[in-house]
């Protein structure tokens, strides 16, 4: 276990500064344009691929950082640049993690490179779980995968929604029901390879924020994928389903806990994205308050403004500490006895919404226009309390973990 320290080591500082340089020089200057265009910023993703930020190697290196701080640090810097563009850069990672977590070595080696493409021909991937009637309530998922034994193929039918990169992805990872009796324990994940007939993009959503990130429905109409596209393979699935059936008879506690641990480990990354957006807005507000003069003095000279900035910075730092604690716990295999991962995501995402709204207030009329970036940051920040589990769901998880009661 790495020794506890509040300071990043030299290597981490170097990576952080490199990412910050990319965020400041490449991402931030492009942010307003791609927000207005509401399109995937392919040239920026390509730039990120050229320097090695858009690649599995980069995420693997950060992921295996022994302190656990590699991913939160990277997320904070990229999302400091711009949330929409950063999500376009890291969105593929969601699908890649799905394969890394559940796939065989062969599946990892075959599909992950196709998710990223290369610097001359960049590709993206999508992770498709949410459905129109299954958002927070994942167990009510309806997309069905049925095994055709004669052809060793799976046939998938259903409609996914809110998929980041949905329909424009080279590789889609689709979660589907294989045993409806088992609720969320009867789900499995499938690779849908590039160009598979039957998969199409439905509605592309026009969004409030993170508009440089593509979000769309994905329609699966008799999509046939080879047996080898079931992540983890059929034998493992059959064993898992048999265990789940056994446990369902006995109450199912262990399976539920394993799934929860995965979420607790991944949620701090979203918290770190929120910290990045909050910090970006705070920095703009601080500089503005120091330079904007009213009544013959800088507006920061008023406690009413200065105290807001003090609160903003305090909350951002507290959010980062919660994110770092949960990330450190995850890499060291500590049990999340108080749902510390959910706590970090809840606090950081609510902080981002609050801080970006305060930034608009501090910039006055300018804050309310698109001439300044804080209104975009405020629109972007609203996503953090919604995706990867809403704030209400985080509170449910925390309350249930603390009390052991089935709070509703």
Q: Where in the sequence numbering do the catalytic residues fall?
A: 388
Rounded CA gap, 36 and 70, in Å? 31
Q: Which of 265, 331, 396, 397 is the binder for ligand FAD (CB under 6 A)?
A: 396
Q: Which of 129, 170, 327, 358 is the binder for ligand FAD (CB under 6 A)?
A: 129
Tell me how far, at minimum, the Cβ of 316 lies from ligand FAD, in Å: 23
> Measured at CB, which residue is nearest to ligand FAD?
135
Binding flag, residue 266, ligand FAD (CB under 6 A):
no
Burial of 257 (0-12, 13-18, 19+ CB in 10 A): exposed
Binding flag, residue 159, ligand FAD (CB under 6 A):
no
Nearest one of 212, 189, 178 to 111, comparing CA atoms: 189
Strands 125-128, 171-177: pairing is parallel
Query: For residues 169 and 124, is the Cβ–Cβ distance under 8 A?
Result: yes
Binding flag, residue 386, ligand FAD (CB under 6 A):
yes
Q: Which of 34, 54, 58, 127 is the binder for ligand FAD (CB under 6 A)?
A: 127
Q: Which of 374, 383, 397, 398 is the binder for ligand FAD (CB under 6 A)?
A: 383
Binding flag, residue 390, ligand FAD (CB under 6 A):
yes
DSSP-based three-state secondary structure for 81? helix
Binding flag, residue 387, ligand FAD (CB under 6 A):
yes
Rounded CA gap, 56 and 116, in Å? 8
Q: Is the CB of 231 or the CB of 312 nearer to ligand FAD?
A: 231
Q: Which of 8, 16, 114, 135 is the binder for ligand FAD (CB under 6 A)?
A: 135
Helix (H) or strand (E) holding 216: strand 215-226
Rg of the Cα atoms in the chain: 22
Binding flag, residue 363, ligand FAD (CB under 6 A):
no
198-227 residues near ligand FAD, rule: CB under 6 A: 207, 210, 215
CA distances from 293 to 121, 252, 288, 290, 363 (A): 49, 63, 9, 8, 11
Q: Which of 36, 106, 109, 136 is the binder for ligand FAD (CB under 6 A)?
A: 136
Binding flag, residue 244, ligand FAD (CB under 6 A):
no
Rounded CA gap, 2 and 331, in Å? 10
71-110 residues near ligand FAD, rule: CB under 6 A: 94
Binding flag, residue 351, ligand FAD (CB under 6 A):
no
DSSP letters for 249-317: HHT-HHHHHHHHHHHHHHHHHHHHHHHHHHHHHHHHHHHHHHH-EETTEEGGGSHHHHHHHHHHHHHHH
How many chain residues touch ligand FAD (CB under 6 A)? 21
The piece of 28-36, 177-185, 316-324, 380-388 that touches ligand FAD (CB under 6 A) is 380-388
The 8-class DSSP code of residue 367 comes to: H
Q: Which of 55, 92, 164, 189 is the binder for ligand FAD (CB under 6 A)?
A: 164
Tell me how far, at minimum, the Cβ of 91 lies from ligand FAD, in Å: 7
Binding flag, residue 184, ligand FAD (CB under 6 A):
no
Binding flag, residue 141, ligand FAD (CB under 6 A):
no
Q: What are the structure tokens assigned to 253, written together? A: 């506690």
Phi, psi of 145 (to 5 degrees): -115, 125
Rounded CA gap, 159 and 132, in Å? 8
Rounded CA gap, 367 and 32, in Å? 14
Q: C-alpha dihedral over 385, 35, 32, 280, to 10 degrees?
A: 10
The piece of 71-79, 125-133, 236-244, 373-381 that touches ligand FAD (CB under 6 A) is 125-133
282-311 residues near ligand FAD, rule: CB under 6 A: none
Tell me how far, at minimum, the Cβ of 68 lies from ligand FAD, in Å: 24
Binding flag, residue 369, ligand FAD (CB under 6 A):
no
The piece of 21-29, 122-130, 145-153, 195-203 that touches ligand FAD (CB under 6 A) is 122-130
Q: What are the structure tokens assigned to 78, written together? A: 């990229």
Binding flag, residue 140, ligand FAD (CB under 6 A):
no
Rounded CA gap, 194 and 124, in Å? 11
The piece of 121-129, 141-149, 239-247, 314-322 that touches ligand FAD (CB under 6 A) is 121-129
Tell me how far, at minimum, the Cβ of 29 lies from ligand FAD, in Å: 23
* Residues at the contact surface with ligand FAD, assessed by CB under 6 A: 94, 127-130, 135-136, 162-164, 207, 210, 215, 383, 386-388, 390, 392-393, 396
């Amino acid at each position: 276990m790495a020794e506890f320290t509040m300071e990043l080591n030299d290597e981490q500082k170097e990576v952080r500064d490199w990412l910050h340089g990319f965020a400041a020089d490449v991402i931030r200057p492009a942010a307003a344009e791609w927000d207005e265009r509401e399109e995937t910023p392919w040239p920026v993703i390509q730039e990120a691929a050229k320097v090695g930020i858009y690649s599995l190697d980069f995420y693997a290196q950060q992921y295996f950082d022994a302190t656990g701080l590699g991913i939160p640090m990277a997320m904070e810097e990229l999302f400091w640049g711009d949330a929409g563009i950063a999500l376009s850069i890291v969105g593929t990672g969601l699908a890649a993690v799905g394969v890394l977590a559940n796939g065989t070595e062969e599946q990892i080696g075959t599909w992950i490179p196709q998710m990223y493409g290369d610097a001359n021909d960049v590709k993206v991937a999508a992770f498709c779980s949410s459905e129109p009637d299954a958002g927070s309530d994942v167990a009510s998922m309806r997309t069905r995968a049925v095994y055709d034994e004669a052809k060793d193929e799976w046939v998938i039918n259903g409609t996914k929604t809110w998929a980041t990169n949905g329909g424009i992805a080279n590789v889609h990872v689709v979660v589907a029901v294989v045993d409806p009796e088992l609720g969320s324990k009867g789900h499995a994940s499938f690779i849908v390879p590039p160009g598979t007939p039957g998969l199409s993009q439905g509605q592309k959503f026009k969004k409030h924020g993170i508009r440089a990130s593509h979000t769309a429905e994905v329609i699966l109409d008799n999509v046939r994928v080879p047996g080898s596209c079931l992540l983890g393979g059929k034998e493992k699935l059959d064993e898992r389903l048999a265990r789940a059936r056994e446990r369902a008879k006995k109450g199912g506690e262990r399976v539920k806990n394993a799934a929860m641990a995965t979420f607790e480990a991944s949620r701090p990354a979203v918290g770190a994205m929120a910290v990045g957006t909050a910090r970006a807005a705070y920095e703009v507000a601080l500089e503005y308050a120091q330079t904007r003069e009213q009544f013959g003095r800088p507006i920061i000279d008023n406690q009413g403004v200065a105290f807001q900035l003090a609160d903003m910075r305090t909350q951002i730092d507290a959010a980062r500490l919660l994110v770092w604690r949960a990330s450190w716990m995850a890499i060291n295999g500590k049990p999340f006895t108080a749902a510390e991962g959910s706590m970090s995501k809840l606090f950081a995402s609510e902080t981002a919404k609050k801080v970006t709204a305060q930034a608009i207030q501090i910039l006055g009329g300018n804050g309310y226009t698109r001439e300044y970036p804080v209104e975009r940051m405020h629109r972007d920040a609203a996503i953090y309390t919604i995706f990867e589990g809403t704030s209400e769901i985080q509170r449910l998880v925390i309350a249930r973990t603390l009390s052991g009661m089935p709070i509703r």
